């Protein structure tokens, strides 16, 4: 999966990053986060609950972190610390998302929605 690093980071480090939400469900994000050793207490928001743009809460190296949809209507999810000034290195988490391969149906749907026609016609 393609990730988009936070623009305010040093090379080879990541304070936070974004992913296209057309390729992944919140359930898949929860599974990916739960598979990372340093991540604990993964909690997804309940259906129809008040959410303030935040879909998932989790702890990474004992720091509170979130998966949020900026402005509540965005094509990407932002994954990072609840307090970006803490300077956590998120490269391990970003690597797990880079390794994720969405199911073929999600990939085709995501490529159509994002108008990513180059990727659409490449082999899977």
Nearest to residue 80, comparing CAs of 2, 71, 72, 69? 69
Report pLDDT for 5.
84
Is residue 12's pLDDT more than 70?
no
For the segment 34-66, what is each residue's pLDDT rounded down to a tens digit?
999 999 999 998 777 676 788 999 999 999 999
Hey, where are the domains in the chain? 3-120
Which residue carries 């929860």 as its tokens? Answer: 30
- What share of the chain has pLDDT > 70, as a percent? 85
Which residue carries 């690093």 as its tokens? Answer: 5
For residue 30, the SS3 value is helix
Q: What is the mean pLDDT of the chain?
A: 84
């Amino acid at each position: 999966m393609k990730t988009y690093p936070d623009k305010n980071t040093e090379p080879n480090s990541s304070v936070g990053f974004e992913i296209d939400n057309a390729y992944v469900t919140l359930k898949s994000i929860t599974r990916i986060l739960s598979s990372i050793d340093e991540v604990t207490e993964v909690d997804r928001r309940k259906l129809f609950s008040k959410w303030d743009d935040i879909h998932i809460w989790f702890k990474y190296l004992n720091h509170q972190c979130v998966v949020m949809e900026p402005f509540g209507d965005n094509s990407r999810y932002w994954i990072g610390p609840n307090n970006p000034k803490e300077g956590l290195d998120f490269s391990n988490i970003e690597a797990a998302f880079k390794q994720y391969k969405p199911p073929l149906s999600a990939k085709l749907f995501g490529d159509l929605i994002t108008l990513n026609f180059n990727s659409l016609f490449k082999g899977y």
